[in-house]
DNA sequence: TAAATAGTGTCTGTAAGACACTATTGA
DNA sequence: TCAATAGTGTCTTACAGACACTATTTA
């Protein structure tokens, strides 16, 4: 600290994106096939270095979102997930990556012939169990992103961000079931979700399905913080099982 | 992106520490008086640049913790808070800072004659209301750190990290009251905290106070995640007040 | 009609919060 | 004895979860 010649080291700064959506009733994450070394040919999160030294971090995240997934900011939740900067995580040198979590309603297949051509949706249930499937430390980042999404679903109105502008309660339930990976009781969910003030508001319209009673349509309400919170069914560890 | 000459920009990487403790029944944060420009003479969070390009982030956080607060890793909770990297936040150039939250039991006054000589404890209630009191964007970082601590107190056993190796239930309550900034009912708190399996375990000993019945002593239990969670009294916004 | 999905009623157990009460110490 | 702090009992209300039941559609 008292070395007069010392100058602080510099690092390369990147953003990585965990983009989650719901397709085929499953939670899916956008992955790209890497075209260059390192990890050429492997699957990785979309992302990249800052464009220039003055680019803002959220701006870089939005730019990558547009470039690699063809997504504009509409209906889009974007939040910082964390920093991943272990020395050696990138063979090119000291790269520190800021991960962002993006959540979007039902998204289309990436369009061929664009920058997003090598992108593909992959169910998280295929990615999470295998830590070696992704390049760099991206498996850890995806794991953290999914866990963040699960937690946020409990206490915030984030679930509606997975839906279109209007939705049925059953559709909303499907979001919770897909993200949490647990089945929920439809009747309890129905009343529960309506009892949370400001979470969803009825539109007065209904939506016909192939068969069965038409369902009322709702849109997102004004509330971001949910009271009472949605409760994720607790997977009981051995220690907390009731003693019979 | 198709410019063959383009090379990614580099940035300066720093760590900043929000070190919280409990002194005089108040939540206090460690601040240092800056000895150099920019913001010379102003109060700021302890922290600094990476020592060398290969230093790990948590290692840098621990190093600053030792240098600026004289703290070793004992009894210490340390977690990543977030990245603060807005262009222009530091007049010296593009500095991206990774903030860490550290929580420690009752800490002594910083020792004069060490690197920590210019450090001082400051009650958060004096810092939080005034966004101009701290250098850089450190007010925001402190705000985020305190909010993180408040939230973690609800669902994790973090509160015991503010206490010594053994503590009374009343002391534990004082932690919750200081961090949350709300009074709690001692009788309900007493039963509540004992009903949370694995949170605290009785030592069998008691501690005498100046006056009044001696209190049972407890030590931290094995559980990190609390079930049921401690509930922070909800400050009702206008919208959610019950309609009479 | 049956099959399917939407939506309601009701009960039980757990837990939060209010608050009266008892217990054990020092002065 | 009183003052002070520790600890218990009990009631009310909220809410999670189980699950029987009714409602409205298409085939």
What one-character-per-residue DSSP string does chain A give? ---TT----EEEEEEEEEEEEEETTEEEEEEEE--SSSSTTSEE-SEEE-SSTT--HHHHHHHHHHHHH---STT-EEEEEEEE--TTSSTTS-EEEEEEEEE-SS-PPPPTTSGGGGEEEEEHHHHTT-TTSBSTTHHHHHHHHHHHHHHHHHHBGGGGGGS-SSB-HHHHHHHHHHHHTS---HHHHHHHHHHSTTTEEEEEEEE--SSSPPEEEEEE-S-SB-SSPP-PPP---GGGSPP-
Quote the CA–CA distance of A130 and A26 in Å, as a whole number.
17
Quote the CA–CA distance of B230 and B10 in Å, as a whole number.
44
Quote the CA–CA distance of B115 and A1 in Å, as a whole number.
10
What count of other Cβ atoms lies within 10 Å of the Cβ of residue B64?
25
A188 touches strand C (CB under 7 A): yes
pLDDT of residue B243: 42
Quote the CA–CA distance of A219 and A158 in Å, as a whole number.
13
Of B137, B140, B130, give the one whose Cα is nearest residue B39. Answer: B137
Residue pair B79/B98 in contact (Cβ under 8 Å)? The answer is: no
Residue pair A139/A133 in contact (Cβ under 8 Å)? The answer is: yes
Q: How far is CA A6 from CA A3, A104, A241, B51, B60, in A?
A: 5, 46, 57, 9, 16
B215 touches strand D (CB under 7 A): yes
| Mean pLDDT value of segment B69-85 | 86
In this prediction, the residues of chain A whose per-residue pLDDT falls under 50 are: 240-244
pLDDT at B71 over 90: no
Residue pair A188/A158 in contact (Cβ under 8 Å)? The answer is: no
3-state secondary structure of B77: strand
- Ranking A73-87, B63-77, B122-136, B164-178 by mean pLDDT, the lowest is B63-77
List, in sequence order, every residue forming a beta bridge with B83; answer none if it has no partner.
B98
Quote the CA–CA distance of A153 and A149 in Å, as a whole number.
6
A186 touches strand C (CB under 7 A): yes
The answer to whether the Cβ–Cβ distance between A227 and B239 falls below 8 Å is no
Q: How far is B95 from chain A (nearest CA, A)?
A: 9
CATH number for A10-153: choose from 3.90.79.10, 3.40.50.300, 2.60.40.10, 3.40.47.10: 3.90.79.10
Name the segment(s) of chain B with CATH classification 3.90.79.10: 10-153
Phi then psi for residue A188, to 5 deg, are -65, -40
pLDDT tens, position by position, A77-111: 899 999 999 999 999 999 999 999 999 988 777 76
> Least CB-CB distance to B80: which of A56, A82, A240?
A82
Whether the bond between B145 and the residue before it is cis, its omega within 30 degrees of 0, is no
Sort out which chain A residues have CB atoms less than 8 A from B87's CB and list them: 54-56
B91 touches strand C (CB under 7 A): no
- Ranking A62-66, A231-235, B41-45, B187-191 by mean pLDDT, the lowest is A231-235
| Mean pLDDT value of segment B124-133 | 97
The answer to whether the Cβ–Cβ distance between A98 and B85 falls below 8 Å is yes
Sort out which chain A residues have CB atoms less than 8 A from B57's CB and list them: 83, 85-86, 96
Quote the CA–CA distance of A24 and A124 in Å, as a whole number.
12
Name the segment(s) of chain A with CATH classification 1.10.10.10: 156-220
pTM equals 0.94
How many Å does it take to go from CA B236 to C1' D12? 20
Chain D bases having any atom below 7 Å from a protein CB: 3-10, 14-21, 23-27
Quote the CA–CA distance of B164 and B218 in Å, as a whole number.
10
CATH topology of domain B156-220: Arc Repressor Mutant, subunit A (1.10.10)
Residue pair B163/B207 in contact (Cβ under 8 Å)? The answer is: no
What count of other Cβ atoms lies within 10 Å of the Cβ of residue A90?
20
The overall average pLDDT reported for chain B is 91
* Residue B49 token pair: 């640049």
3-state secondary structure of B135: coil
Residue pair A146/A138 in contact (Cβ under 8 Å)? The answer is: no
Sort out which chain B residues have CB atoms less than 8 A from A94's CB and list them: 53-54
pLDDT of residue A59: 95
Q: Is A44 exposed, middle or buried (0-12, 13-18, 19+ CB in 10 A)?
A: middle
Quote the CA–CA distance of A224 and A196 in Å, as a whole number.
11
What count of other Cβ atoms lies within 10 Å of the Cβ of residue A58?
16
Q: How far is A24 from chain B (nearest CA, A)?
A: 33
The answer to whether the Cβ–Cβ distance between A8 and B86 falls below 8 Å is no
Residue in chain A nearest B227 by alpha carbon = A240
Whether the bond between B228 and the residue before it is cis, its omega within 30 degrees of 0, is yes
pLDDT of residue A205: 96
How many Å does it take to go from CA A234 to C1' D19? 20
- CB–CB contacts below 8 A, A to B: 103
| Mean pLDDT value of segment B9-16 | 96
């Amino acid at each position: 600290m008292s070395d007069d010649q010392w100058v602080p080291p510099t690092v390369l700064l990147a953003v990585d994106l965990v983009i989650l959506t719901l397709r085929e009733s499953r939670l899916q994450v956008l992955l790209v096939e890497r075209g260059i070394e390192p990890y050429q040919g492997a699957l990785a999160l979309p992302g990249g270095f800052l464009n220039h030294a003055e680019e803002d971090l959220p701006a870089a995240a939005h730019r990558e979102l547009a470039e690699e997934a063809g997504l504009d900011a509409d209906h889009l939740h974007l939040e910082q997930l964390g920093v991943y900067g272990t020395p050696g995580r990138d063979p090119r040198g000291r790269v520190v990556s800021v991960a962002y979590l993006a959540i979007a309603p039902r998204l289309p297949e990436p369009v061929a012939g664009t920058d997003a051509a090598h992108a593909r949706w992959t169910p998280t249930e295929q990615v999470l169990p295998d830590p070696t499937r992704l390049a760099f430390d991206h498996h850890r980042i995806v794991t953290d992103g999914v866990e963040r999404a699960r937690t946020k679903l409990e206490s915030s109105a984030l679930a509606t961000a997975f839906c279109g502008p209007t939705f049925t309660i059953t559709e909303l339930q499907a979001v919770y079931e897909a993200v949490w990976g647990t089945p929920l009781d439809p009747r309890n969910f129905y009343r529960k979700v309506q009892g949370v003030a400001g979470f969803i508001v009825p539109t007065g319209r209904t939506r016909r399905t192939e068969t069965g009673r038409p369902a009322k349509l709702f849109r997102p309400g004004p509330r971001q913080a949910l009271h009472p919170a949605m409760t994720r069914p607790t997977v009981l560890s051995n220690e907390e099982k009731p003693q019979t």
